[in-house]
A and B are shown apart, each in its own frame.
Chain A
Amino acid sequence: MSRSVEERTADVGRLLAASRAVYADRARIAPQIARSTGLSLEGVLFGFSCLERAATDSELRSLVDAAGDAERVHVVLSANAFVAPLRAMAIARAASTRVTVRPSPRDPTLAVELERAARDDAIAIVSDRDVASVDRGEIHVYGRDETVAAVRARARPGVTVRSHGPGMGVALVTRGAGVAEAAAAIAEDVVPFDQRGCLSPRLVMVEGDEARGEALAAALHERLEEWGSRVPRGALAGAERAQATRWREAIRFAGRVWSGAGHVVGFAPWGSAAAIPPPGRHVQVASLDSLREAAAALGTIARHVVVLGTDDPARLRGAAPRGARVVQLGLMQRPPLDGPVDRRSI
Chain B
Amino acid sequence: METDTRGRESQALHERARAMVRAFERGAAPPESFDALAVDLARFQAQSVQGYARLCAARGVDPCALARAADAPAVPTEAFKLASVFCFEAGHATFTFRTSGTTAGARGVHAMRDVATYDAAALAFGRAMFARDLTAPAPFLVIGPAEVEAPDSSLAHMCALFARSFGAAEPAHRTFFVRAGALMVDDLRARVAALDPAAPVAILATSFALVHLLDALGDDVLALPSGSRVMQTGGFKGRSREVVAGDLRRLAARAFAVDERAVVGEYGMTELSSQLWEATLVDARARPGVYVAPPWVRVVAVDPESLAPLPDGAAGIARIEDLANVDSAFAVLAQDRVRRVDGGIELLGRAPGAPPRGCSIALDEMLGAGGVP
In the complex, per-residue mask of A175-206: 1 if CB is within 8 Å of any chain B CB, else 0: 00000000000000000011111101010000
- A278–B73 alpha-carbon span in the complex (Å): 21
B51 on the A face (CB < 8 A) = yes
Q: Do residues A254 and B105 form an inter-chain contact, with CB atoms below 8 A?
A: no
B363 on the A face (CB < 8 A) = yes
B132 on the A face (CB < 8 A) = no
Q: How many residues of A contact B (CB 8 A)?
A: 55
Which of A58-66, A109-117, A240-248, A315-323 lies at the interface with chain B?
A240-248
Which of A124-132, A150-158, A224-232, A268-276 lies at the interface with chain B?
A268-276
Q: Do residues A273 and B106 form an inter-chain contact, with CB atoms below 8 A?
A: yes
Question: In the assembled complex, which residues on chain B have CB atoms less than 8 Å from the CB atom of A251?
Answer: 82
Q: Do residues B365 and A145 form an inter-chain contact, with CB atoms below 8 A?
A: yes
A279 on the B face (CB < 8 A) = yes
A208 on the B face (CB < 8 A) = no
Question: In the assembled complex, which residues on chain B have CB atoms less than 8 Å from the CB atom of A162?
Answer: none
- A195–B359 alpha-carbon span in the complex (Å): 9
Question: In the assembled complex, which residues on chain A have CB atoms less than 8 Å from the CB atom of B78?
Answer: 246-247, 250, 275
Q: Do residues A193 and B365 form an inter-chain contact, with CB atoms below 8 A?
A: no
A-B contact count (CB 8 A): 159
A314 on the B face (CB < 8 A) = no
- Contact (A167, B360) CB under 8 Å given A144-B365, A300-B104: yes
Question: In the assembled complex, which residues on chain B have CB atoms less than 8 Å from the CB atom of A84?
Answer: 359
Which of B12-20, B140-148, B258-266, B346-354 lies at the interface with chain A?
B346-354
- Contact (A166, B104) CB under 8 Å given A246-B78, A254-B82: no
Question: In the assembled complex, which residues on chain A have CB atoms less than 8 Å from the CB atom of B360?
Answer: 166-168, 195-198, 200, 202, 279
Question: In the assembled complex, which residues on chain B have CB atoms less than 8 Å from the CB atom of A37?
Answer: 357-358
Q: Do residues A249 and B55 form an inter-chain contact, with CB atoms below 8 A?
A: yes
Contact of A239 (CB < 8 Å), options: B82, B335, B355: B355
Q: Do residues A197 and B305 form an inter-chain contact, with CB atoms below 8 A?
A: no
- Contact (A252, B305) CB under 8 Å given A143-B359, A300-B104: no
- Contact (A279, B358) CB under 8 Å given A268-B83, A273-B82, A300-B104: yes
Q: Do residues A271 and B359 form an inter-chain contact, with CB atoms below 8 A?
A: no
Q: Do residues B359 and A196 form an inter-chain contact, with CB atoms below 8 A?
A: yes
Question: In the assembled complex, which residues on chain B have CB atoms less than 8 Å from the CB atom of A252?
Answer: 51, 54-55, 58
- A275–B75 alpha-carbon span in the complex (Å): 14
Q: Do residues A250 and B76 form an inter-chain contact, with CB atoms below 8 A?
A: yes
A328 on the B face (CB < 8 A) = no
In the complex, per-residue mask of A62-102: 1 if CB is within 8 Å of any chain B CB, else 0: 00000000000000001111001000000000000000000
- A278–B363 alpha-carbon span in the complex (Å): 7
- Contact (A245, B361) CB under 8 Å given A239-B354, A250-B79: no
A304 on the B face (CB < 8 A) = yes
Closest to A106 in B: B357
- Contact (A249, B361) CB under 8 Å given A256-B54, A257-B58, A275-B78: no
- Contact (A254, B354) CB under 8 Å given A166-B360, A301-B104: no
Output the least CB separation between A142 and chain B (Å).
Answer: 7
- Contact (A249, B76) CB under 8 Å given A37-B357, A278-B354, A301-B104: yes
Contact of A198 (CB < 8 Å), options: B304, B359, B367: B359
A237 on the B face (CB < 8 A) = yes
Q: Do residues A142 and B359 form an inter-chain contact, with CB atoms below 8 A?
A: yes
B36 on the A face (CB < 8 A) = no
Contact of A197 (CB < 8 Å), options: B74, B76, B106, B359: B359
Closest to A142 in B: B359
Output the least CB separation between B337 and chain A (Å).
Answer: 10
Closest to A277 in B: B363
Closest to A80 in B: B359
Question: In the assembled complex, which residues on chain A have CB atoms less than 8 Å from the CB atom of B363?
Answer: 243, 276, 278
Q: Do residues B105 and A79 form an inter-chain contact, with CB atoms below 8 A?
A: no
Q: Do residues A276 and B366 form an inter-chain contact, with CB atoms below 8 A?
A: yes
In the complex, per-residue mask of B203-240: 1 if CB is within 8 Å of any chain A CB, else 0: 00000000000000000000000000000000000000
Question: In the assembled complex, which residues on chain A have CB atoms less than 8 Å from the CB atom of B357?
Answer: 37-38, 79, 196, 237, 240, 279
B333 on the A face (CB < 8 A) = yes
B66 on the A face (CB < 8 A) = no
Output the least CB separation between B109 and chain A (Å).
Answer: 8
Output the least CB separation between B56 and chain A (Å).
Answer: 9
Interface centre among B83, B104, B360 (most CB of A within 10 A): B360
B52 on the A face (CB < 8 A) = yes
Question: In the assembled complex, which residues on chain B have CB atoms less than 8 Å from the CB atom of A79?
Answer: 356-358
Q: Do residues A253 and B54 form an inter-chain contact, with CB atoms below 8 A?
A: yes
Interface centre among B105, B317, B357 (most CB of A within 10 A): B357
- A250–B77 alpha-carbon span in the complex (Å): 8
- Contact (A243, B366) CB under 8 Å given A196-B360, A254-B51, A273-B106: no
Q: Do residues B352 and A253 form an inter-chain contact, with CB atoms below 8 A?
A: no
In the complex, per-residue mask of B63-82: 1 if CB is within 8 Å of any chain A CB, else 0: 00000000001111011011
- Seen from chain A, the residues whose Cβ lies within 8 Å of a Cβ on chain B are 37-38, 78-81, 84, 142-145, 164, 166-168, 193-198, 200, 202, 237-243, 245-247, 249-257, 268, 271-276, 278-279, 299-301, 304
- Seen from chain B, the residues whose Cβ lies within 8 Å of a Cβ on chain A are 51-52, 54-55, 58, 73-76, 78-79, 81-83, 85, 104-107, 109, 304-307, 317, 333, 335, 351-363, 365-367
Selected A-B contacts with CB under 8 Å, 22 pairs: A79-B356, A84-B359, A164-B359, A166-B361, A197-B358, A197-B359, A197-B360, A239-B353, A239-B354, A242-B304, A242-B317, A245-B304, A246-B335, A249-B74, A252-B55, A253-B51, A253-B85, A255-B83, A272-B107, A274-B106, A275-B78, A276-B104
- Contacts A80-B359, A243-B353 known; list 16 others, CB within 8 Å: A142-B359, A144-B356, A166-B365, A198-B358, A237-B354, A239-B352, A240-B357, A241-B304, A246-B333, A250-B78, A252-B51, A253-B51, A254-B83, A272-B107, A273-B106, A278-B354
8 closest Cβ pairs, A-B complex = A196-B358, A273-B106, A242-B304, A300-B105, A253-B51, A250-B78, A254-B82, A254-B83
